[in-house]
């Protein structure tokens, strides 16, 4: 069985790491490069960097910051925010990213998923899907874009299936309802997506305790769990979390 992954996430705005609740009320969480270095040293399996206002501000991701982060870490590094073309991806990979994450652009032009998968390989393409419970259809989730600001009317599971069919290598599933609440991951949608697809699902949004990670792996069937504030504000050390998960039978890599 493949080891489950723990992935800290750096949401970056104006070069600083920020964290909010339900995608709003952002507060400063520190220097992105320094946080990245600490996470790599403390046993994170991967690192995700999301330039959260790049799409809204219609600009590319801060490549200089990506380069600075890549220089202080030795773990797989995923970068997202404002990616619109093959050229954008090439620039980020050259700056030190191992994978890229696309969201708004994939919804706008789904063919970019297959284009990037063909150009760089599926393993390089992570499709981020931000979802919120539908207010009109029961037991359904709707896809949002532009940093959670715009509802698309697209049903989450059917979009996830299309994303897989078009060649994405992984899905980063964020529950906007759970984001920053520390009340636990959205187990239902995570499990539904994991059952439906054969590519890995990274669960994001809602981590507050070690048990939340255990639940999302056991019940939600996630392949990886991503969190931000609990790591940024040193509420749960990564090493401690991994030992806890291993003791509860979750296959996990411990840093030696």
Catalytic residues: 11, 130
- Burial of residue 79 (CB within 10 Å: 0-12, 13-18, 19+) is buried
Structure tokens at 249: 């039978």
Encoded tokens for 130: 């931000």
SS3 call for 27:
strand
Whole-angstrom distance, CA of residue 144 vs CA of residue 55: 13
Return the structure tokens found at 75: 């773990």
How many residues comprise the chain? Answer: 256
Neighbouring residues of 190: CB distance < 8 A, sequence distance ≥ 6? 173, 175, 201, 203, 216, 220, 221, 222
Q: Are 245 and 252 in contact (CB under 8 A)?
A: yes
Round to whole Å and give the CA distance between 256 and 248: 19
């Amino acid at each position: 069985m493949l080891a489950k992954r723990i992935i800290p996430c750096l949401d970056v705005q104006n070069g600083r790491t920020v964290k909010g609740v339900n995608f709003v009320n952002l507060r400063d969480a520190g220097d992105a490069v320094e946080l990245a270095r600490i996470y790599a040293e403390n046993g994170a399996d991967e690192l995700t960097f999301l330039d959260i206002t790049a799409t809204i501000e219609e600009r590319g991701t801060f490549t200089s910051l990506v380069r600075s982060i890549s220089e202080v870490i030795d773990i797989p590094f995923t970068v997202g925010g404002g990616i619109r073309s093959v050229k954008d991806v090439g620039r980020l990979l050259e700056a030190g990213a191992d994978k890229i994450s696309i969201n708004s652009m994939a919804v706008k032009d789904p063919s970019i998923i297959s284009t990037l998968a063909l150009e760089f390989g599926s393993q390089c393409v992570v499709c981020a899907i931000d979802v919120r419970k539908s207010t009109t259809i029961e037991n359904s989730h709707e896809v949002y874009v532009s940093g959670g600001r715009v509802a698309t009317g697209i049903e989450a599971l059917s979009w996830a299936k299309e994303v897989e069919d078009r060649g994405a290598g992984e899905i980063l599933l964020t529950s906007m309802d759970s984001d920053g609440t520390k009340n636990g991951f959205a187990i239902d949608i995570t499990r539904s997506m994991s059952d439906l697809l054969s590519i890995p699902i990274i669960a994001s949004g809602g981590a507050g305790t070690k048990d939340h990670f255990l639940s999302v792996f056991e019940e939600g069937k996630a392949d990886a769990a991503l969190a931000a504030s609990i790591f940024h504000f040193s509420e749960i050390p990564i090493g401690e979390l991994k030992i806890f998960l291993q003791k509860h039978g979750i296959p996990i890599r411990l840093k030696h």
